[in-house]
Structure 1
Amino acid sequence: MSEYAGAWLNALPTPSLGNLLDDDCLRITVALRLGAAVCQPHRCQACGREVREDGHHGLSCAFGISRGSRHSAINEVIKRAIVSAGVPAIREPPGLCRADGKRPDGMTMVPWRHGKALLWDATVSDTVAVSHIVGSTAEAAELRGKRRPTNTGHTLNSKVAICLFRWPSRHLAPARKAKP
Structure 2
Amino acid sequence: MTEIGKHDALVLLTQAAFIPRLSYFLRTSPGPSQQKSDEFNNELHMGFQKIFNVFFDDKGWKQAILPVNMGGLGLGVVAELAPSAFLSSAAATAALQDKILPMDVAYQDDLRLETFRRWCTVYGDIMDINVCSQKKWNEPSLNVSKSKLEELNDSPSDKARLMAVRSELGSAWLRAIPSTACGTRLVNGSISEFMLETWAAGGVRLGSGRQARHSAMNDYICKLFQKANIPAVKEPAGLLSESNFRPDGYTLVPWSQGCCLSWDVTFPHTLAERYINYTAMEQGSAAVKAADFKNTKYKDLNDNTSFCSDLCGDIWPSG
TM-score past 0.5 threshold: yes
Give 1:36's match in structure 2, choosing from 200, 222, 229: 200
Paired residues of 2:265 and 2:311 also in contact (CA < 8 A): yes
Give 1:143's match in structure 2, choosing from 282, 292, 308: 292
Partner of 1:13: 180
Deviations 1:64-119 (A, max 9, x none): 6x332221112112222333333222211244446431211001121101112100
Partner of 2:308: 160
Distance 1:98 1:13 in 2: 45
Q: Judging changes above 3 Å, is the alpha-carbon distance between structure 1 residues 110 and 24 closer, same or farther for their aligned structure 2 residues?
A: same
Paired residues of 2:210 and 2:314 also in contact (CA < 8 A): no
**TM-score, reference length from structure 2:** 0.39
Residues 92-107 of structure 1 aligned to structure 2 (within 5 Å): 92-97=235-240, 99-107=242-250
Paired residues of 1:98 and 1:150 also in contact (CA < 8 A): no
Give the number of the structure whose residues are more often helix, by fraction: 2
Amino acid of the residue matched to residue 31 of structure 1?
Answer: L
Q: Quote the offset at 1:32 in angstroms.
A: 3.5
Residues 9-158 of structure 1 aligned to structure 2 (within 5 Å): 9-10=176-177, 12-13=179-180, 22-33=187-198, 35-37=199-201, 53-54=202-203, 56-57=204-205, 59-60=206-207, 66-97=209-240, 99-131=242-274, 132-133=276-277, 134=280, 135=282, 136-152=285-301, 154-158=302-306
CA-atom RMSD, angstroms? 3.2
Larger Rg: 2
Q: Judging changes above 3 Å, is the alpha-carbon distance between structure 1 residues 5 and 83 closer, same or farther for their aligned structure 2 residues?
A: farther
Q: Judging changes above 3 Å, is the alpha-carbon distance between structure 1 residues 93 and 126 closer, same or farther for their aligned structure 2 residues?
A: same
Deviations 1:97-151 (A, max 9, x none): 4643121100112110111210001121111235512224233213202211333
Q: How many residues align?
A: 146
Distance 2:297 2:239 in 1: 15
SS of the aligned residue for 2:219 comes to: helix
Q: Judging changes above 3 Å, is the alpha-carbon distance between structure 1 residues 129 and 106 closer, same or farther for their aligned structure 2 residues?
A: same
Which one has more relative contact order, counting CA pairs under 8 Å at least 6 apart? 1
**TM-score, reference length from structure 1:** 0.63
Distance 1:121 1:139 in 2: 14
Distance 1:85 1:27 in 2: 35
Amino acid of the residue matched to residue 162 of structure 1?
Answer: D
Q: Judging changes above 3 Å, is the alpha-carbon distance between structure 1 residues 91 and 4 closer, same or farther for their aligned structure 2 residues?
A: farther
Distance 1:72 1:120 in 2: 13
Deviations 1:46-72 (A, max 9, x none): xxxxxxx22x12x33xxx6x3322211
Distance 2:210 2:266 in 1: 12
Distance 1:5 1:84 in 2: 30
Q: Quote the offset at 1:4 in angstroms.
A: 7.7
Distance 2:300 2:264 in 1: 13
Q: Which ranges of structure 2 fall in alignment gaps of 5 or more residues? A: 1-166
Give the number of the structure whose residues are more often strand, by fraction: 1
